[in-house]
Each structure stands twice: as C-alpha cells, then as structure tokens.
C-alpha cells in the first residue's frame, strides 16, 4: 500500500468549536455533508484534542470553514496549541455565538455550520460524529482553503538547512541526522511518519 495515495484525497480545513466547560476549538480536515434532507454532516476528531471529549459531553458544535484569506497564524492559534494549557478565545475577537450557544469564527472563514450530535462511533484514535445541522450561513465569497492550498500557500517554507527533517503537516524542522521513531511534532503533534528528510 502506498500511503502517499492518501495525500491525494481532497479536504477542506475547518475550525471546530465547542462549549462544554469553556469555549474551545481545534482545526479539523475531516468534515463533510452526507445528506441534504435532513442536512446531516459527519466529522472526525482525534481523541488527543480536548475538543473531542468536550464535544462528546456537550453534543453541540460549530464548524467554521476556513477560506483562502487565512494566514498561518490562524492555524497556529487553533491547531498547534492545546485547550488544556491555554484559553483559545482569550485575545481572539473575531467570533459570534450561534443559536446553539457555541462560538464560530467570523474572520478568514466563508461559512459556518452549527450542529447537534446524533450518533458517535469510536474509531480508535478518533471519534466519528454524525450530526444534524441546525444553522448555516455564508460569511464570505472567498474560496474554502483546501488542504492542498494550505500546503502550497499558507504553510511557511522550511528554513534552508543541510540536514534535518521537516514536518509535512506544519513545516516544523527537526535539527538532526536521525529522527527518533517515536518523535512527535512539537507544533502539530503528528508522528515521525509525517516527516521527510530536508
Ligand atoms: Fe508538525
């Protein structure tokens, strides 16, 4: 099996937000509409993300579709920090609260969806959520930032170095000849298998 095939699946990028004990959120690429009548969506969240357990307990969420005007800061803000050690909405003003009580992102996003979870399935590393959309609005006419667009236009180019390994997800550079097998990217938490030699 060639794992590179999976990089050719098309994805959008989204901020998933919940409000269990406090407002929190993370970046996901696994969000899609599956039926139109009624409007149902699915999303999958890594169990390592605090947002995952919070969504399991609250059952309410918003998904904000990131558009091509977003810069790397937005991804660092929601994707490369944990809600366990910071409050992601402290100092972040570009939000409104949907009717279900959850914040959505109003800047660098082109739509938002508020939803209620109806079913979940444990997939091992991730939880799959099936949900009804209760509210949806368009926020801008810009294009959705796809994962490919992120890779080509948003993620910073790696620093030029002779040796080292670069994280294919976020661009973090590991300075060293041998990358430990159990290495976890300190920025995006992806494993050593997502690194390539510079
Ligand atoms: Fe990374």
* Ligand 1 mean position, distance from CA 37 (Å): 38
Provide the percentage of residues in the chain whose pLDDT is more than 70: 98
Q: Give 40 Cα–ligand 1 centroid separation in angstroms.
A: 31
Average pLDDT of every residue of the chain: 94
In this structure, the answer to whether residues 133 and 165 fall within a common structural domain is: no
pLDDT of amino acid 52? 96
CATH code, domain carrying 57 = 2.30.110.10
Neighbours of ion ligand 1 (CB under 5 A): 167, 169-170, 172, 185, 187-188, 190
Interval between CA 47 and ligand 1 midpoint (Å): 17
Classified as helix, coil or strand, 95 is: strand
How many structural domains compose the chain?
2
Ligand 1 centroid distance, CA of 90 (Å): 24
How many angstroms separate the alpha carbon of residue 172 from the centre of ligand 1? 5
Residue 82 shares a structural domain with residue 27: yes
Give 100's contacts (C-beta < 8 A, 6+ positions apart). 60, 61, 62, 114, 115, 116, 134, 135
Q: Are residues 93 and 37 in the same domain?
A: yes
pTM here is 0.87
Six token digits for residue 151: 């890779």
Lowest mean pLDDT of 10-24, 86-100, 174-188, name the range.
174-188
Q: Give the residue from 172, 173, 174, 198 showing the smallest Cα distance to 187.
A: 172
Q: Is the pLDDT of residue 159 over 80?
A: no
CB 155 within 8 A of CB 171: yes
Q: Which of 71-75, 120-124, 135-139, 186-190 has the lowest mean pLDDT?
A: 186-190
Range of the domain at 182: 161-198
User: What spacing in Å lies between the alpha carbon of 93 and ligand 1's midpoint?
Assistant: 26
Is the torsion defined by CA of 88, 72, 157, 192 positive or negative? Answer: positive
Q: What is the reported pLDDT for 189?
A: 85
pLDDT for position 81: 87
DSSP string covering 27-66, please?
EES-EEEEEETTEEEEEEEETTSHHHHHHHHH-EEEEEEE
Judged by phi (left if over 0) then psi (alpha if -120 to 50, else beta), residue 44 lies in: beta
List, for residues 93-128, the tens digit of each pLDDT value.
999 999 999 999 999 999 999 999 999 999 999 999
Instruction: With a cut of 70, say whether residue 161 has pLDDT above it.
Output: no
Domain match, 104 and 170 both:
no
CA 161 to ligand 1 center in whole angstroms: 17
Residue % of the chain over a pLDDT of 90: 82
Q: Are residues 106 and 179 in the same domain?
A: no
Distance from C-alpha of 10 to C-alpha of 43, rounded to nearest angstrom: 15
């Amino acid at each position: 099996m060639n794992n590179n095939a999976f990089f050719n699946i098309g994805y959008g990028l989204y901020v998933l937000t919940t409000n269990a004990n406090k407002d929190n959120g993370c970046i996901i690429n696994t969000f899609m509409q599956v039926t139109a009548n009624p409007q149902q969506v699915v999303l999958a969240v890594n169990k390592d993300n605090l947002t995952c357990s919070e969504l399991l307990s609250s059952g309410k969420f918003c998904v904000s579709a990131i558009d091509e005007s977003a810069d790397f800061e937005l991804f660092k803000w929601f994707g490369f920090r944990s809600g366990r050690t910071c409050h992601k909405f402290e100092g972040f003003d570009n939000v409104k609260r949907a009717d279900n009580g959850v914040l959505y992102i109003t800047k660098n996003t082109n739509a938002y969806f508020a939803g209620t979870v109806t079913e979940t399935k444990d997939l091992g590393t991730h939880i799959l959520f099936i949900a009804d959309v209760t509210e949806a609005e368009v926020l801008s006419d810009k294009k959705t930032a796809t994962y490919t667009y992120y890779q080509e236009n948003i993620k910073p180019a790696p620093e030029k170095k002779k040796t080292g390994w670069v994280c294919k997800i976020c661009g973090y550079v590991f300075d060293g000849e041998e990358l430990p097998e159990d290495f976890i990217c300190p920025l995006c938490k992806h494993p050593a298998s997502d690194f390539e030699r510079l």
